[in-house]
Amino acid sequence: MSNFHSTLSRRDFMKALGLAGAGVGAVSAAAPVFHDVDELTASSGGVQKLPWWVKEREFKDPSVPIDWQNLPKLEGVFPMQAKPTLSAQERYAMGIPGGSSGTWASPEQAQVLFDHMKKEFPGWEPGYAGLGDNRTTALFMATKFMRMGMWPGEINMGGKRVNVAKAISAAGGTAAFTSFLGLRSSETLRPQDFGVPRWEGTPEENLLTLRQVVRFLGGCDVGAQEMDSDVFKLFHEKSGGKQLVIENVDEAAETPTKLVIPAKAKYILQWTARQPYESTRRQAGEYEDAAVYWSYQRFPFVGAIIQEFIHALGYTAVSTHMSGYHSSAVATLTGMGEHCRMSSPILVPKYGTTNRAMWVIMTDMPLMSTKPIDFGVYDFCKTCGICADSCPFGLIEKGDPSWEATQPGSRPGFNGWRTNTTICPHCPVCQSSCPFNTNGDGSFIHDLVRNTVSVTPVFNSFFANMEKTMGYGRKDPRDWWNIDDYTYGINTSY
Amino acid sequence: MFWIGLLAGAAIAFVANRLVQKGVFTKWYEWVLGGLGVLALFATGQHYFSSLRENEPQSAWMGALIFGIIALILLGVAWQLSVRKTKQS
């Protein structure tokens, strides 16, 4: 009777079901099943490979509300604390080490930081330069070579000591190899030099081309936004002391007083690069260390080469490199990330605040604009506040976002957070404390949390508390030397 | 990962088949509880080993504890429901 309606017995059916279950289990465990859906559902034409829990917004409408009418331009880069004048050896002799090249912390601030980090990592000592143990200090010293694209001072060449920066300055050069007009090397030959047409692609093809180049050179993602009078408010009045202007001219120009962007170079390319994750969250001392400075060594070079690539294609490419614009504000428009409580960095969906390059090139190569994104961070930051609690000086704002220019050198016109950069000594704490930095290639719980945060703010407070309870965030810097870290410190599988 | 998935899928299929044959789980909610228990068991393993790979030992142990307890409770309830039902009959 049981075989009357079917030739398949119950036992055979269950066997088949079991085999099918095994197959489904195997496929689901072996394949990143949402990988292709990610690219289809949450990306600007497939250019930005965003996780599936990231939503797109309308152009010029990022999650942080902006009052474009009342948003003023800034005069220049945000004000920074002056560097102390004492040498590193003098600081060591006075018992509060620090003051190595590139450091801002005053002796009083350094003492606060040392006390903070001794409490955070019992047994940790600031060492002879205020950066921790000898190996960590030595790595910082080595990696700051040619940081920010700056020519080196006195170095050994051919058995002689040569001051490169001084020699270049004497020849009329500048302190860094990066320049507004780009390198335009005499060795870079363009299609125009041969009388052949330049490569032409659709705006999407062009952006994909640049994404490929950015990744080839060590960067990560790209975004784009077309310039208009609103967006130009995010560019400063001046860069490097020169007026930054847009003019109806054929060629870009740099004069002693101004930097001229041709109106045709209306496409803003924003490219990003990641900062090594494990070493970033293992920094301790009076200043950021090798994780930051190796990025500042590599990425200005990458930026200059991207600019040279666009030039070599036959297009105009100008850049004020790290200054001249509000990088995190531009990044909210190009969909690289969301405005966050820390305010200076942008918070990126895949790796939080562990970015170092978020830089901009202006070009006449047509680029497809990418949309602002929303993955719940703006709301999450309202209840989290881990970075603000971690700041040893209380410089990161607590409480709700504001429309006012609440900090020195900041501006009104957006309902966000601002940080008092005039007394921030660039210590390594806040950047490495963000919950969104968490390794995207790890526990399933991270994707679950990020997805939930992108949908509802109801659990935000619980998630922030669990972040602390589970012991995520900053780690003892001494342990980094025992980690089998990735090439360049970056796990590129996510 | 492929082999873990294949073996896990085969093991689940085998166990489910045996449970059906022996009539251990007969109610739908026993299957749901058992399934959720197995899911929690997988979550325990995935979170533990991934967290160690993330250099997060504290999270590894705490997560294993949380998901492991959930798995034990769910599987325990499913098992007890079955045992008590067998005793009654």
* Residue of B20, B41, B56, B61 to mutate, interface with A, max A Cβ within 10 Å: B56
User: Which one of A26, A471, A483 has the shortest CB-CB distance to B9?
Assistant: A26
| Domain-embedded: residue B19 | no
| Domain-embedded: residue B74 | yes
**Residue B12, H or E segment:** helix B2-22
Delimit the domains of chain A by residue range: 40-83+147-153+178-489
> What number is the ipTM of this complex?
0.87
- On whether the CB atoms of residues A274 and A351 are closer than 8 A, the answer is yes
Whether the predicted pLDDT of A17 surpasses 80: no
Q: Give A358-389 pLDDT, tens digit per residue.
A: 999 999 999 999 999 999 999 999 999 999 99
| Domain-embedded: residue B54 | yes
Q: Give B38-75 pLDDT, tens digit per residue.
A: 999 999 999 999 999 999 999 999 999 999 999 999 99
Q: Give the pairing type, strands A258-262 and A242-247.
A: parallel
User: Which one of B4, B21, B47 has the shortest CB-CB distance to A29?
Assistant: B4
Q: Which of A38-42, A289-293, A339-343, B71-75 has the lowest mean pLDDT?
A: A38-42
User: Which one of B10, B17, B59 has the shortest CB-CB distance to A15?
Assistant: B17
* Residue of A469, A470, A482, A485 to mutate, interface with B, max B Cβ within 10 Å: A470
Counting the structural domains of chain B, the total is 1
Domain of B48 in residue numbering reads as 26-88
The phi, psi pair for A416, rounded to 5°, reads: -140, -165
Q: pTM of the full predicted structure?
A: 0.88
- Of the pLDDT bands very low, low, confident and very high (cuts 50, 70, 90), residue A236 is very high
CA distance A170 to chain B (A): 50
- Of the pLDDT bands very low, low, confident and very high (cuts 50, 70, 90), residue A484 is very high
